[in-house]
Amino acid sequence: MKGSAKAAGRSKDETATPPEAPVSEDDRRIRALILAELDRRGARPVARRTLSLIAEGFVEPADGVPGYRIVDRTGAVRLRGEAGTGVPLTLHDLVEELREQYAPLFFPPAPEPEPEPARDTIADVRAAGARFVETQSALARSLASSSAERSRALASAASETVEGWRSRLAERLKARPRPAPVEAAVDPTEPSPNAAERLAEARTRVEESWRRVASGIQPRQTATRLRDLTEDALAAGSRRPVALITLGALAGAGLVAALSLSGHDTGDSGRPARQTAEPQAPQTAPAGSPPASTSASPPASDRASGEEPAPDASAEMPPAETERPPEPEPPRKGANALVGVPEVIDTATLRVGGKVVRLFGVEWVRGGQADELSKYLRKRSVTCQPAPGSSAYICTVEGRDLSEVVLFNGGGRASSEATPDLAAAEDHARTERLGVWKR
């Protein structure tokens, strides 16, 4: 019994699992690297531990990078390449050999994706263009339909409005009584004016027209103004004869219009008086007296053989040229007036008699040429008088307003206190692009 018990105890001790050997830190690190590489290469989970043990038999820890080395069964370092020449093997190479030897222990590799077909750029552009045209066509169709609907609505509204206006206008015209046309009643007994009377009336109208024109025009002042405008244009270097021609044409057109209007007004005013006075003559004459036309004037044959009728008093009046208005007196020099040859500081400022004078209604701006104003003055004397209610002066040279000359030729701009004449001169320079208005 004792022998059998001892034998059973020995067999039990022999079959017991031997204790595991201690594992170093390097072995744990190498095992972790091997397991990670097996996972990357697709090892099956049931064969993961087996493959790791096989790989650990060929890996030894080493100093340096990568911290291990691959050896063969004899313990020699394995190199990559033919005849053992090259670089040492890595865990990637070792696991690749295990995959080739034990392929069933690894998952099959994933199929490589098929290469994408080569893209045709021209086809893509055509497809994109077709899509764009399609979308734009749909948008255009929608816009066309909406615009057509709006047009129809507007047309219907406009037609309704016009029809309403037309109906209201027709109602107003029906309700308003129309005056009967007045026909000029011609009295058969009224004698027609002869040629002498017509000539006298025409002469009277012409003389009255010339008298009105002469009373409204001062020849000397007009000639002086035209001369000054011509000198200003030439002194400013204006080479535009079109402006002078236009000025003359406007003056002639104004004169002709004045003559035509005055003659037309005189004829229209004289005609109703004659028409109203002549029909009243037969009514005031007594019943037994002969007609006024036969008693007042002899027959045409007697008049032709006898003396001519006496001309009207208006025909014997002297011509309108003898009735010239008195010439304007030269401006009187006030107590504060400055007279002398000026020194041009700029186009809006002068120095007269040692005093700085600012021209009334003129504001200097960049571009105003003082030398052009000096050329215009030509050492002529100017007369400067204080402007009422302003610190500026009204300066004249030979009766010509110097502020108007400066603004007419674009030497500056009109200030806020400028008169309408100065503003008109500035408008001329702006229209002709003179001086500061060139830019």
Q: What is the DSSP string of 39-102?
A: HHHTB-GGGHHHHHHHHHTTEEE-SSSSSEEEB-TTSPBPBSSGGG-SSBP-HHHHHHHHHHHS
For the cut 50, the answer to whether the pLDDT of residue 185 exceeds it is no
Q: Which of 90-104, 299-313, 379-393 has the highest mean pLDDT?
A: 379-393
What DSSP state is assigned to residue 353?
A: T
- Tracing tokens 């408008």 back to the chain, one arrives at 427
Map residue 286 onto helix, strand or coil.
coil
Q: Collect all residues with Cβ–Cβ distance below 8 Å to 51 and sequence separation of at least 6.
A: 38, 43, 95, 98, 102, 105
Phi, then psi, of 29 in degrees rounded to 5: -65, -45
> Could you report the per-residue pLDDT of 86-139, keeping only the tens digit for each?
788 888 888 888 888 888 888 888 787 777 777 778 888 888 888 899 898 888
The b/e string for 264-299 (b: 16+ C-beta within 10 A; e otherwise) is eebeeeeeeeeeeeeeeeeeeeeeeeeeeeeeeeee
pLDDT of residue 282: 39
In eight-state DSSP terms, residue 359 is B
**CA pair distance 211, 223, nearest whole angstrom:** 19
* Least confident segment among 150-164, 188-202, 232-246, 400-414: 232-246
| Confidence band of 304 (pLDDT split at 50, 70, 90) | very low
Q: What is 338-437's CATH number?
A: 2.40.50.90
Quote the pLDDT of residue 251.
Answer: 66
| 310-322 confidence digits (pLDDT tens) | 444 444 444 444 4
Q: How far apart are CA 217 and CA 335, in angstroms?
A: 33
- Domain boundary assignment for the chain: 23-105, 197-280+296-322, 338-437
Average pLDDT over residues 340-357: 91
